Amino acid sequence: MTSADDSPLPARPRLIATDLDGTLLRDDKTVSARTVDALAAAEKAGIEVFFVTGRPARWMDVVSAHVHGHGLAICANGAVVADLHAGGEPVEVRPLPRPTALDVVRILRDAAPGTSFAVELTTGIHYEPEYPPFHQDPGATVAAAEKLLHEEEKGSCAPVVKLLAYHPTLTPDGFLTLARTAAGDRASFTRSSPSALLEISDLGVSKASTLALCCAERGISSDEVVAFGDMPNDLEMLTWAGTSFAMGNAHPDVLAAASGRTATNNEDGVAVVIERILARL
């Protein structure tokens, strides 16, 4: 593992991809003035910046003012590409099929009794009575996951972008391993929370796969991408990008996988690297 001071950087990166929580955002969920300046300077230098997050589009207000020309952000771990210039309107959705989500619910109920679920749609989140929501959405339906996922006619309901599974006693990494063992052939499992909260997408959907599609549309290769992250849901993106940085506060698996390491999110670790990139141009 190299440090932020001696990590190799591409001669001229064309795109910066950064996670938000624990990475670009400080612990108080703000973007520092130093980071705002670094993002603007990167865009001015012709380097596109993509926010790539597990957050739904409706929780992107913290950074919507800092998306420049393209206006796009990759949300829900790659399930949605949203236009933040248009209020977070989805421009591409890679949904989790409802029958698949129901299979996963059934399997996890058997494999890990006590699991509760939430269903993230393009229109908002709904959850089971036992699920501890982080944000109380006024319009949320509270019901069993089987009811939340029921669809009278295929395509008649809003797309499912993410299934969330919470367990009150398992360790976060232990729950992730258990779920992948039990149902990893049906869906993609990851996590970004300090609690045993899993984020479940369709097979093949990840931050990396959607970022790769966005880059391909722009003629940008992985070698021209610099990526930043801190949690297991960033792993595929960090290994796909030609250059990647784990935050100083990152999960051990992320620290091991990234090609470099920068300062913590509270120390503006993303800005530190962007400033180095721009100083070399």
pLDDT tens, residue by residue, 176-191:
999 999 999 999 999 9
Boundaries of CATH 3.30.1240.10 in the chain? 98-202
User: What local confidence, expressed as pLDDT, does residue 2 receive?
Assistant: 42
Work out the average pLDDT over 218-228.
97
| Stronger pLDDT, 152 or 186, i.e. the higher one | 186
Order of strands across the sheet that contains 116-121: 124-127, 116-121, 160-166, 197-202, 187-190
CATH code matching the domain that covers 15-94+206-280, chosen among 3.40.50.1000, 2.40.160.20, 2.40.37.10, 3.50.30.50? 3.40.50.1000
pLDDT in tens, 154-210: 777 999 999 999 999 999 999 999 999 999 999 999 999 999 999 999 999 999 999
CA–CA distance, 243 with 277 (Å, rounded to integer): 12
Give per-residue pLDDT as tens, 98-125: 999 999 999 999 999 999 999 999 999 9
pLDDT at 134: 62
Residues in the chain: 281
For the entire predicted model, the pTM comes to 0.93
Q: How far apart are CA 120 and CA 55, in angstroms?
A: 10
Binned at pLDDT 50, 70 and 90, residue 135 comes out as low
CATH of 98-202 among 3.30.1240.10, 2.60.120.260, 3.40.50.2300, 3.40.50.300: 3.30.1240.10
pLDDT digits (tens, 9 = 90+) for 224-261: 999 999 999 999 999 999 999 999 999 999 999 999 99
Cα gap 72→95, rounded to integer Å = 18
Q: In the predicted model, what is the mean pLDDT of the chain? A: 92
Please, where in the chain does CATH 3.40.50.1000 lie?
Answer: 15-94+206-280
Average pLDDT over residues 24-30: 95
